[in-house]
Amino acid sequence: MTSPIAVGQASTESPFSWRFTTPLFVGSALNAINSSMIATALVPIAAGLHVSVGQTASLVTALYLASAIAQPTAGKVAEVFGARRVFLVGIVLVLLGGVLGGVAPNLLTLLIARVLIGLGSSCAYPTAMMLIQRRANAAGMQKPPGGVLGGLQIAGVATASLGLPIGGVLVQTAGWRWVFLVNVPVALIALAAALIWIPRDPAQQTPRNAREVLSRIDLTGIIGFALAMAALLAFLFSIPEPNWIILAAAVVLFVVLTGWELSAEHPFVDVRLLVRNGALTRTYLRYALVALCVYLVLYGITQWLQAGRGTSALAAGLLLLPTSVISGVVVVPISRRNLVRGPVIVAAVACLAGSAGVLLLTSDTPTGWIVLITLLFGVALGAGVSGNQIALYTQAPPEQLGVASGLFRTFGYIGSIASSAITGIVFHTSVTDSGVHHIALIMISVSIAAVALTVLDRTLNSPGRPTSQT
C-alpha cells in the first residue's frame, strides 16, 4: 500500500523535501514581511491618496488586528475542512489583497486590502504546523522534525527585517503600490507549489449541514474571540491616552467568551485545556514576555536612536539588523536538535542581560555597546522562538495543534503591540535618556518574570512526540 507521504514522489525521497517545505516557508514569510514592509510606504501613500500620515498608520493596525484574530481561527477551520484547503484559501486571499491594494483609489480600499493580506497570510503558520505534523506522523517519526520547524520560524519571524529593505527598494524604484502588488507573483508561486507538491487532505468526515459546520468550528466562539481581541488591541493602541471604557468592554467580552467556551461542544479556545495543560499555558506566556522585550528594543530603541542621538532612519535600521540576523542563525542548531529547556533559559537570561545593558544607555554610549545589546536580543528571539515552538509542538494535543499554533502567534502579537503602547506612554512628550531607562526597568521586570517562569518549569525537556490526547 502506498504511504500518504509518497503520493507523486519517489519512495526514496525525504518526507520533508524542498518541494514540500517550499510553499510552507514562502506562505509563512508573507505575514512577517508584509508586517514591516508597509512602514516604508506610509508617507508616499499619504501623499498619493491626499491623506495624513497619521491616517495611513491604520494600515499597520489593520494587519496586526486581522492577524491576531485569524491565526487561531485558521487553525480551527483547518481542523474541520483540512489544512491544505485552508492554506490554499489563505494564499488566494493574499493574492486578492495584493491586486486590490495595487489599484486602490482610496484609503478605505487599501485598508480592505491589508485586512485580506492579514487574514490570508495568517492561514499559513497554523496550517503549516498541521501539515508538518501529519507528514511526520505518516513517516513514523518519534520526535518533532526540528529542522523543518526551525525553517518555518526563520520564514515567519527572522524574515520580518527583510520587509524594510524590500519595501524601501520597491517604493523608491516602482512606487508605493508595489508594496501591495509584490504579493501577487509571490502568492502565485506559493499557490502553484502548494497545488503541485502538498498532498491532498485525507478523506475525513465532513459536517452534514450548516448547523453542524457552525458547531464544529464554534462560530460563536470565534466571533466572541474576535470582538474581545479587537477591544483589547483598540485599548492598547489608544495609549498614551487610554480609553478605559474599551478596556472594560474587553474584560467583559473575555469573561463572556470564557463562559461560552466552557459550555461549547467543540470550543474554539479550549479553556479547560489551558487550565489543565499548565505547560502549554506557560509556553504562551514565555513567548509573549520575550516578544515584549524584543519589540521594546525594536520600537523604543529605534525612536531613541533617531530622536535622542540624531541617528538617521537607515543607520538606526542597520544598528538593529543584527537582532534579526542572529535570531535566524540561532534558530537552526536549536531546532535541529529539538532542544527546549536550555534555549528558553538562554532566551530569558539574554533578555535580562540585554535589558540591563539598555539601562546603561546614554546619548554618548559607543555604537559597539548598542550592537552588543542588539545581538543579545537576537539570541533571545532566536532561542525563545525555537525552544518555545518545539515545546508547543509536543505540549499541544495533536488534534488541536492548529488552534494552539495560532494562539502561539497571537500571544506574540500581544507582546509586540503592548511594547508599542509602552513606548507611546514613556515617550509621550519627548524621547530622552531617562525615558529609555524607564523602558529598561520595565524590560528588567519582564525578564525576571520570564527567567522565573522558565527556570521553575520542570516540564521543559527535549521531547519525543506525545500520543493523542482526548
Residues 254, 274, single domain; the answer is: no
CATH number of domain containing 430: 1.20.1250.20
Range of the domain at 341: 270-462
Q: 303 and 229 in one domain?
A: no
Q: Which residue in the block uniquely carries the three cell numbers 503591540?
A: 417
Residue ranges of the chain whose pLDDT lies below 70:
1-13, 53-54, 158-161, 164, 204-208, 240, 306, 312-314, 316-317, 462-470
Domain presence at residue 342: yes
Q: Residues 288, 167: one domain?
A: no
Q: Are residues 247 and 276 in the same domain?
A: no
Query: Whole-prediction pTM value?
Result: 0.82
Residues 452, 329 share a domain: yes
Q: Are the C-beta atoms of residues 100 and 384 closer than 8 Å to each other?
A: no
Is 316 inside a domain boundary?
A: yes
- What pLDDT does residue 415 have? 84
Which DSSP string corresponds to 378-428?
A: HHHHHHHHHHHHHHHHHHS-GGGHHHHHHHHHHHHHHHHHHHHHHHHHHTS
Structural domain count, the chain: 3
Are 36 and 179 within one domain?
yes
**How far is 179 from 170, CA to CA, in rounded Å?**
7
Structural domain includes residue 75: yes
Read off the C-alpha cell for 263.
459550555
Q: Is residue 212 part of a domain?
A: no
Rounded CA separation 15/20 (Å): 8
| Amino acid identity for residue 202 in this structure | P
Phi-psi region of 270 (alpha: psi -120 to 50; beta: other; left: phi over 0): beta
Q: Are residues 231 and 182 in the same domain?
A: no
Same domain as 318, residue 387:
yes
Q: What integer pLDDT is reported at residue 63 of this predicted model?
A: 84
DSSP 43-97: HHHHHHHT--HHHHTHHHHHHHHHHHHHHHHHHHHHHHH-HHHHHHHHHHHHHHH
Closest CA to 128 of 160, 93, 158, 155: 155
Q: Does 259 fall in a domain?
A: yes
Does residue 34 share a domain with residue 162?
yes
Which residue matches cell numbers 532566551?
Answer: 347
**159/232 same-domain check:** no
**Residue 8 domain flag:** no
Task: Single out the residue in 144, 167, 198 at which a domain terminates.
Answer: 198
Same domain, 259 and 278: no
Looking at the structure, tell me whether residues 249 and 324 fall in a common domain.
no
Residue 163 belongs to some domain of the structure: yes
In a domain, 378, yes or no: yes
Q: Which residue has the cell 474581545?
A: 228
* Alpha-carbon torsion, ordered 31, 34, 36, 42, to 10 deg: -150
The secondary structure of residue 208, as a DSSP letter, is S
Give the pLDDT of residue 370.
Answer: 87
